Amino acid sequence: MKSNSRVYVIGHKNPDTDSICSAIAYADIKNRTDKTKTYMARRAGQINEETEYVLKRFGVRAPGYLPNAGTQVKEIEIHEVPSVPGTISVKKAYSMMKNNNVVTLPITSPDNDLQGVITVSDIAESYMDSYDSHVMSLARTQYRSIADTLDGSVIVGNEHGYFIEGKVVVGAFHPDTMENYIDKNDLVILGNRAEDQLCAIEMDASCIIVGLGAKVTKTIQKFAEEKCCVIISSPHDTYTIARLINQSIPVKYLMRRSNLITFSTEDFLDDIKEVMKNQRHRDFPILNKKGKYVGTISRRNLIGNAGKKLILVDHNEESQAVDNVKEAEILEIIDHHRLGSLETMAPVMFRNEPVGCTGTIMYQIYQEKGLDIAPNIAGLLCAAIISDTLMFRSPTCTMLDKAAAEALAGIAEISIPEFASEMFRAGSNLKDKSPEEIFYQDFKKFIMGDVTFGVGQITSLDAGELESIKEQLLPQMESECGKHGIEMVFFMLTNIIEESTELLYYGSGAKEVIEKAFEDLPVNEVSCELKGVVSRKKQLIPAFMMALQNQ
């Protein structure tokens, strides 16, 4: 599946049951109505106990975790430059670079582990600095590679053997003086004179190269075999042979093998741009999750990248969205909250309805498109509505929510009162949770003008449990205030049975906001009682926004 055909359907951070279940349902709707793309439900945070219970109850896997909407390397075009083994010659490597129009060639093991890279400039530098006549033996150059580079062939000796000791000499002197220049195991470049060939073999040369395709007599060939001397025949003259021969060196000798700059397919472009900017290299190797080489990228690959495609459900505020949401392409937003701060680069399909739950909107879309709802999806959406409306007790609940929940319960074959009781008990089981986990279970960040504040909420059927949670949360609120730019922290301890909330607060100006939002309400040093208030969305946040607006 191509990454540019994927669309992620995702809810807000610290996801609740509506956020998760609506993402799953809408991915199902889109996959059944649009075959041009693949829609995948994702979550932007940890799933809470209530949602976990619902997913297990209806046998649905939790969506995959997508903590960041930034573009990753795997989502852009990677240049699939074929890698080469370190044993190939520099000549072959350069030829591959020209054919593939690249300046960097990765060298890998048989298992595709990156061993090094070689660039055109590395090859050029090796020729500019090539004053060492021993370089070919130091590089352990194979005789077959030498023959291939010189467009010749090995006519005597083992072509799979290696030139491992000695220097390269051009035998352009008289046989009488040749012994002054040739040492044992040297490689000697010669012409067609038989006496020169015999002399080099007598001097224990490990290899002689005969140019211009000259014939080598059977006598000399036999003598070379006896002396274990390799003979290579080449059609080129001695000048051309001397010029080409260093290109037979295996690339592993010239490759860079330490301090390699590589990137992973999982890396985010924002993280690698700075690294690229400070390097002179044009191409960088890419490794997959298993550390295997897959291709290269350059700066030009970063220009005009498409980025992730998202559909947002159950939120439309940037502060609640997955990290780096601005880097993604938002295709649709489906929500039931107030209009928030999120901006898009292009017009999008935006459906926002004043109902108690995004799950209700999903039910309507199924109806509008004439799609049957699978029993497990119906169970998820019914759970979402029960959760968001506190089983129809919340003032956000509408007749549409209640009708949708009842229809979905029929499809899922569940009793709403019994299921709601089980679900709420699963969600309010907080005994084994740390204060931080409780705090972030359902916490949202809001921005009004220059003021940034956060509101968390826990619902429970047990007044005693809420009281014990209060003692844990007060110090946690104090430590969380000031993080992520949040100036004031509020937390709703909502009793579903009594339909009331104890509102905890901390931070400079927090008490004044409550007093302005709920006039004539007694507010003590840490909290206040809000009778009949159970909805953060419809009762608390609008009152706070009005209070802050009138400051």
Strands (E), 14-163: 38-43, 64-65, 104-108, 114-119, 141-142, 153-156, 162-163
Tell me the C-alpha distance between 296 and 272, whole Å: 13
Q: In what order do the strands lie in the sheet with 168-170?
A: 153-156, 230-233, 207-210, 187-190, 168-170
Which segment of 127-136, 269-278, 361-370 scores lowest on mean pLDDT? 127-136
Tell me the pLDDT band of 471, cut-offs 50, 70 and 90: confident
pLDDT tens for each residue of 166-224: 999 998 777 667 778 889 999 999 988 899 999 999 999 999 999 999 999 999 999 99
Q: How far apart are CA 6 and CA 13, in angstroms?
A: 21
Is there a contact between 505 and 515 (Cβ–Cβ < 8 Å)?
A: no
C-alpha distances in Å from residue 467, one per residue of 97, 230, 458, 461, 523: 71, 91, 11, 12, 17
Local confidence band at 74 (pLDDT 50, 70, 90 cut-offs): confident
Q: Give the model's pLDDT for residue 1.
A: 45
pLDDT band at 459 (very low <50, low <70, confident <90, very high): confident
What pLDDT shows up at residue 300? 80
Summarize the confidence of residues 401-422 as an average pLDDT: 96
| Domain architecture of the chain: domains with CATH | 3-71+307-427 (3.90.1640.10), 75-127+253-302 (3.10.580.10), 140-248 (3.40.1390.20), 435-549 (3.10.310.20)
> DSSP class of residue 126?
H
The contacts of residue 183 (CB under 8 Å, 6+ apart) are 166, 167, 203
Residue 3 has a pLDDT of: 55
* β-sheet with 293-298: strand ranges across: 263-264, 283-287, 293-298
CB 69, CB 7: distance < 8 Å:
no
**Mean pLDDT calculated for residue range 527-533:** 93
What do you get for the CA distance between the two ends of the chain, in Å? 53
Q: Are 317 and 341 in contact (CB under 8 A)?
A: yes
Angle formed by the axes of helices 416-427 and 375-388, nearest 10°: 70
- Matching residue, tokens 């979402």: 384
* pTM greater than 0.75 (yes/no): no
Residue 311's pLDDT is: 97
Residues contacting 486, CB < 8 A, separation 6+: 445, 452, 453, 454, 480, 507
Q: What is the C-alpha to C-alpha distance for residues 215 and 193, in angstroms, rounded to an integer?
A: 10
Distance from chain centroid for Cα 21: 25
Strands (E), 235-288: 263-264, 283-287
The mean pLDDT value for 459-480 works out to 86
Residue 437 has pLDDT above 60, yes or no: yes
Q: Which of 265, 190, 276, 256 is nearest to 229 (CA)?
A: 190
Interval 278-285 mean pLDDT: 82
Structure tokens at 316: 């439309």
Cβ-based burial of 477 (10 A; exposed 0-12, middle 13-18, buried ≥19): buried
- Helices 17-33 and 375-388 meet at what angle, rounded to 10? 140
- Is residue 487 within 8 Å of residue 481, measured between CB atoms? yes
